[in-house]
Chain A
Amino acid sequence: MTEPDRQPDYAELLQSPYDPPPEDDTAGSDQPLPWVPSVIAAVIGALVVSAFVIYAVATDPEEDAAADTTAPVEQSEPVASAGLPPGYVGVTDSVGARIEQADFDVAETIVAVSTAVPGDRDSDEVPPLDPAYWSLRRGEDEIPMTGQLAQRGVLGNYTIQFPPLDQVEGLALVPHLPGGEAIIETSVETDTEIPQTIEGVVIDLGDGRSVVIDKVVVGDGWGWVSWSTTGGAVARVDTIVTFEGTDDPSTEDTVDPTRLVPEHLRPMTQGGGVVPLPPLYGFSGSSQLIRSGRSIGAGNEPTGITVRFTVTAPSSVVPGPELPLPAVPETDR
């Protein structure tokens, strides 16, 4: 038997005259109900819920948008990692692209493409897109680009060149991305005759693909190179002409033969202007070669000329997603 079981039997005997009256369900049943605290409680309850309702209405985002269309909806966090700006199609897991303009000229088709990272990515930590090439696709047909341009000082914007098109409806732009890259270096040594032209150097890329150096022209302080590919290959080609045996006496302890280099490799102190970015991949290319170092001539005559080609080519190419072309105004057709 437990203590609570005995309590009813001995409660009256154990009670002191100074103890407070027992508080059981029956005690005080004849006293009036406490209406005042009840009314106060009901009012407090109503006020608490009313305050919540007022807060909910006042902070409702749709109400904000309806009242002032210029105020963006509050959001505590930027969009998720997949959240590219509107209209951008994810080309890689961290870069999206969007067509800003398509110009269908009688001589050339030009497509302007911008790229962006999602808002929760740091654009300083994401490298720019480096497409192998772009194509315009209509059904089964693929029209490859003739060239693509990027430029230092113009972040993430590409100008893509295509041949002129008779029919422009139903086209989509497709980036083709490189899967790895191979670098091949080849040199040609020749005599010191200036000017001279070197033609037909073939650099094998494997799988039936090659880069053909169509022409290298070497002058006394100027040069030119043009190249193309076979087998559908894309590449970029850097050409450096070295005048062997030349030196700049104004520098000590360094061997600095006079060279002809592409513009993006020229020193800042020569020529002024903005040094361009290295060229993007292409099916063909050409560039001026600019002198770096002392002029050749009396007192600085070369003993030989070496032309070095550095070819960079994608190991493989993977097509990306389609980017729809904007509607074409009648006047541009």
Chain B
Amino acid sequence: MNIRGVLLVVVAFLVGAFAAGSIGVRVIREVAAPEEATSLPAENVSTTVSAAGTYQIDPRETLLSSTALVPTTAETSDGELGISYDLVSLAPRAGVEPVEFIGSFGFLTVVENEDLDHVYPRSWIVETPQGGIQGGPANPSARAARFIVPEGFTLDAIDRIVIEEAFAPYPADIPFTLSASAPVVEVLPGVTMRLLNVSEGATTTIVQVGIDVEDPDLVALSVEGDGPGWRSAFFEAEGRPRVNLTWAAGELPDPIELVARGTVMVPLEGDFEVSLEGLR
């Protein structure tokens, strides 16, 4: 092929590319057109710290307060859908030692920081063309939400997955009093302290306080004496929770000043959509 032929081939290549490119640009513009049409004017748009589409630890994460919920697997079996997830806390924790406590029968239990119940994604809904299916994890420590699904259900039937109710734990410190004349007090909605028994000994008095909690998944409280005269309290979790307190300073005061300490789950505002990416 001579030079004229080569030039002709090059020109033909460019003409073909230009023609296809012109059509392509128009296609791209048409695809983008709906977004542009609904966009706010630039002066009305404010920049947020974390722009839409960015993520903290995983593109599939759903942020619940400072914890990222990352769905890992979705499986159906025997009429049940199970969606497993990880909870990754973004809370700073350098130097924070793991939780250690002496549990039943004197065994030391250690809970590493990454295994704590950072949030409780309690109530989920799987949306399908046939309607919503309610479900959720069995308790705050679970890492899988479960749903009862109809026969023949497949993952392709899922339109959306939304967490409708989620909680995060917060420290609580609630003073209260009990007495023979007022032996029951509600310290929080659904949380009642009850004076069960007062047993006077030679030098000490044992005060037994029962803790009635309507929803144990949302409240974890113990009771201590408030003020001088109390020895360390002993919490009995087996059966109905109760605390044995020892008063060692003479006559027991009336009313008895106590304080409830522990953790209360605080509801998180909003609905939280869970990514379907990688689940099917």
Pairwise interchain contact B50-A62, C-beta atoms closer than 8 A: no
Chain B positions 101-158 with a Cβ under 8 Å from a chain A Cβ: 101-103, 108, 111, 113, 116, 118
Name which of A62, A98, A272 has the most chain B CB atoms within 10 A of its CB. Answer: A272
Interface SS majority for chain B: mixed
Question: Is A326 positioned at the interface, with any CB of B under 8 Å from its CB?
Answer: yes
Question: Is B31 positioned at the interface, with any CB of A under 8 Å from its CB?
Answer: yes
Which one of B168-176, B191-199, B206-214 is at the A interface? B168-176
Cβ–Cβ < 8 Å partners of B20 in chain A: 45-50, 53
Q: How many residues of B contact A (CB 8 A)?
A: 96
Question: Is B202 positioned at the interface, with any CB of A under 8 Å from its CB?
Answer: no
Question: Is A75 positioned at the interface, with any CB of B under 8 Å from its CB?
Answer: yes
Nearest A residue to B35, CB-CB: A62
Which one of A34-42, A183-191, A309-317 is at the B interface? A34-42
Question: Is A217 positioned at the interface, with any CB of B under 8 Å from its CB?
Answer: yes
A37 CA / B89 CA spacing, docked (Å):
62
Question: Is B185 positioned at the interface, with any CB of A under 8 Å from its CB?
Answer: no
Question: Is A65 positioned at the interface, with any CB of B under 8 Å from its CB?
Answer: yes
A115 CA / B233 CA spacing, docked (Å):
32
A161 CA / B94 CA spacing, docked (Å):
25
Pairwise interchain contact B66-A116, C-beta atoms closer than 8 A: yes
Interface flags for B209-244 (1: CB within 8 Å of A; 0: not) read 000000000000010110111111111000000000
Name which of B8, B20, B57 has the most chain A CB atoms within 10 A of its CB. Answer: B20
A71 CA / B27 CA spacing, docked (Å):
23
Nearest B residue to A161, CB-CB: B173
Pairwise interchain contact B66-A219, C-beta atoms closer than 8 A: no
Cβ–Cβ < 8 Å partners of A156 in chain B: 66, 89-93
Question: Is A13 positioned at the interface, with any CB of B under 8 Å from its CB?
Answer: no
Question: Is A82 positioned at the interface, with any CB of B under 8 Å from its CB?
Answer: yes
A294: shortest Cβ distance to chain B, in Å? 15
Nearest A residue to B250, CB-CB: A195
Pairwise interchain contact A119-B55, C-beta atoms closer than 8 A: yes
Pairwise interchain contact A159-B50, C-beta atoms closer than 8 A: no
Chain B positions 46-84 with a Cβ under 8 Å from a chain A Cβ: 48-57, 59-61, 63, 65-66
Of A60, A85, A275, A326, which is within 8 A of B50 by CB?
A85
Cβ–Cβ < 8 Å partners of B222 in chain A: 273
Question: Is A163 positioned at the interface, with any CB of B under 8 Å from its CB?
Answer: no
A46 CA / B15 CA spacing, docked (Å):
8
Pairwise interchain contact A125-B94, C-beta atoms closer than 8 A: yes
Cβ–Cβ < 8 Å partners of B266 in chain A: 100-101, 112
Chain B positions 22-54 with a Cβ under 8 Å from a chain A Cβ: 23-25, 27-28, 31-32, 34-35, 48-54
Pairwise interchain contact A74-B63, C-beta atoms closer than 8 A: no
25 interchain pairs, CB-CB under 8 A: A37-B8, A45-B12, A48-B17, A50-B20, A53-B23, A72-B61, A72-B275, A73-B52, A85-B50, A86-B48, A94-B92, A114-B66, A115-B92, A116-B56, A117-B91, A118-B56, A119-B56, A123-B94, A128-B91, A151-B263, A153-B99, A155-B96, A157-B169, A223-B228, A268-B108
List residues of A whose CB falls within 8 A of some B CB. Answer: 23, 25, 27-28, 33-34, 37-50, 52-53, 56-57, 60-63, 65-66, 68-75, 78-79, 82-88, 90, 94-96, 98, 100-101, 112, 114-119, 123-129, 147, 149-159, 161, 195, 197, 215, 217, 219-224, 263, 266, 268-275, 277, 288, 290-291, 326
List residues of B whose CB falls within 8 A of some A CB. Answer: 1-5, 8-21, 23-25, 27-28, 31-32, 34-35, 48-57, 59-61, 63, 65-66, 89-97, 99-103, 108, 111, 113, 116, 118, 160-161, 168-173, 222, 224-225, 227-235, 248-249, 262-263, 266-269, 273-277
Beyond A79-B51, A116-B90, list 7 extra A-B contacts (CB 8 Å). A37-B1, A53-B21, A53-B25, A84-B50, A157-B171, A197-B228, A224-B227
